[in-house]
Structure 1
């Protein structure tokens, strides 16, 4: 059975897409810790990040870096934090979180955004690639 993220990649579930290439996909987290919280995922399903082969792992990190650079140009922040937790969805995902305060990395601090806010933000981030 495909994971939730595979269904997003396949277009079965809508997302606020930021960027994609042949192997990876980035989209806004719909339950963000901070404005701009983005998930980067491999298109190939794998549950645990360290189970990726080395090329896929390095590719995901390079892809995530590109996305983080676009986030920094778009969302005012001190830095973009990175976390890999992976307990919620059994599909490797990298959290990129624009940070101004440590509480934004706790996954207990959430911000509320409307559909319109998400759409505008996704468009602004895409324009910075």
Structure 2
């Protein structure tokens, strides 16, 4: 069965994309730990990160690092946290989120964000930070 992430990538479901290339996309989660919590997802539907071909894993992590730098810049965070959990959706994805303390990566604190304006603002801030970091070619022009 097609994953929810594949449906978002294909445009069948909405997503607030901040990065798109031929191998990887990044979009905001609708249940963030903190504003700016982003998912970095390979286009290829592979369940576990341990099953990714090495070149694709390298690409996912390179994009995650770039998103992390943008998260720190956009949200004035001292750190960008990174986690690979993978139990909630059977499609590999890396969580990148602003961090001030260890509790900022506690998935028990994930909560649906029902305010579309807050999600839109977080996506706008991340896209702007990515452009400032020299990545305009991969940033969707939606704002």
Same-fold status (TM-score > 0.5): yes
Cross-structure match for 1:83: 83
- Give the match's secondary structure for 2:27: strand
Deviations 1:31-66 (A, max 9, x none): 011111110000000000010011011111011111
Deviations 1:86-112 (A, max 9, x none): 000000000001001211111112354
TM-score, L = length of structure 2: 0.86
Cross-structure match for 1:126: 127
Matches within 5 A, 1:43-122: 43-110=43-110, 112=113, 114-122=115-123
State how far apart, in whole Å, the 2-side matches of 1:20 and 1:70 are. Answer: 15
- Give the match's secondary structure for 1:127: helix
State how far apart, in whole Å, the 2-side matches of 1:7 and 1:85 are. Answer: 20
State how far apart, in whole Å, the 2-side matches of 1:23 and 1:34 are. Answer: 26
Cross-structure match for 1:23: 23
Give structure 1 stretches of 5+ with no counterpart: none
State how far apart, in whole Å, the 1-side matches of 2:16 and 2:115 are. Answer: 12
- Give the match's secondary structure for 1:55: helix
| Paired positions, count | 129
Whichever structure has more helix as a proportion of its residues is 2
RMSD across aligned positions (CA): 1.2
TM-score, L = length of structure 1: 0.95
State how far apart, in whole Å, the 1-side matches of 2:56 and 2:85 are. Answer: 18
